[in-house]
């Protein structure tokens, strides 16, 4: 890995950014996301800051949310299979972590168009959600399962879909395998 955190293989092969394949319906839990949280689908750019400052904020907020939020299933908390919401006092599940990270990063001044929620299949092929930070060097993954921020191409996740970088209210299918 280079100083930017991206492997030279990922950059050289042109896979630094998740390739968009086609339009996709949103995940069932995200159908009301934009109505519930307008910031979750914001696309307006905010104040510009250096890449180093942004990365510092991304690392700090990722660690803070992972450390301060407990893992609680939607079934246990809401008595339903899937509900996308900010974590409660009891905690939240993976998409709740992703939403909280996105909100906190936007509040810290990160351009919302650089923060995209994505759904994946994890290494055990279970459904999972992560936050993708679209850095100038490529797409980096903020995951509640680790404090390490990794390029999408080395996560060993199967990427299914993510918010459309141009219109976050919409979702796009992405290149499936990292």
Which sequence spans correspond to the domains of the chain? 8-174
> pLDDT tier at 8 (50, 70, 90 boundaries)?
very low
* pLDDT for residue 4 is more than 60: no
Hey, what CATH topology would domain 8-174 get? C8orf32 fold (3.10.620)
Write out pLDDT tens, residues 123-165. 999 999 999 999 999 999 999 999 999 999 999 999 999 999 8
Give the chain's radius of gyration (CA, Å).
Answer: 15
* Average pLDDT across the chain, whole number: 89
Instruction: Record the pTM.
Output: 0.89
Q: What is the mean pLDDT of residues 7-25?
A: 70
In the block, which residue shows the tokens 């279970």? Answer: 126
Task: Report helix, strand or coil for 154.
Answer: helix
> 46 phi and psi, to 5 degrees?
-110, -170
Task: Report helix, strand or coil for 127.
Answer: strand
* pLDDT for residue 13 is more than 50: no
pLDDT value, residue 14: 55
Length of the chain: 178
In the block, which residue shows the tokens 């919401």? Answer: 85
* pLDDT for residue 1 is more than 80: no
């Amino acid at each position: 890995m280079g100083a930017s955190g991206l492997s030279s293989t990922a950059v050289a092969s042109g896979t630094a950014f998740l390739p968009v394949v086609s339009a996709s319906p949103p995940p069932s839990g995200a159908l009301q996301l934009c109505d519930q949280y307008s910031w979750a689908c914001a696309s307006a750019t905010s104040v510009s800051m250096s890449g180093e400052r942004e990365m510092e904020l991304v690392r700090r907020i990722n660690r803070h949310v992972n450390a301060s939020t407990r893992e609680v299933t939607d079934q246990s908390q809401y008595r339903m299979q899937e509900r996308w919401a900010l974590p409660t006092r009891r905690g939240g599940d993976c998409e709740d972590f992703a939403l909280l990270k996105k909100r906190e990063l936007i509040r810290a001044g990160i351009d919302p168009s650089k923060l995209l929620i994505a759904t994946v299949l994890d290494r055990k092929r279970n459904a999972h959600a992560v936050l993708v930070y679209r850095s100038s060097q490529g797409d980096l993954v903020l995951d509640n399962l680790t404090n390490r921020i990794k390029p999408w191409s080395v996560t060993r996740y199967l990427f299914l879909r993510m918010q459309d970088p141009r219109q976050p209210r919409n979702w796009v299918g992405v290149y499936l395998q990292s």
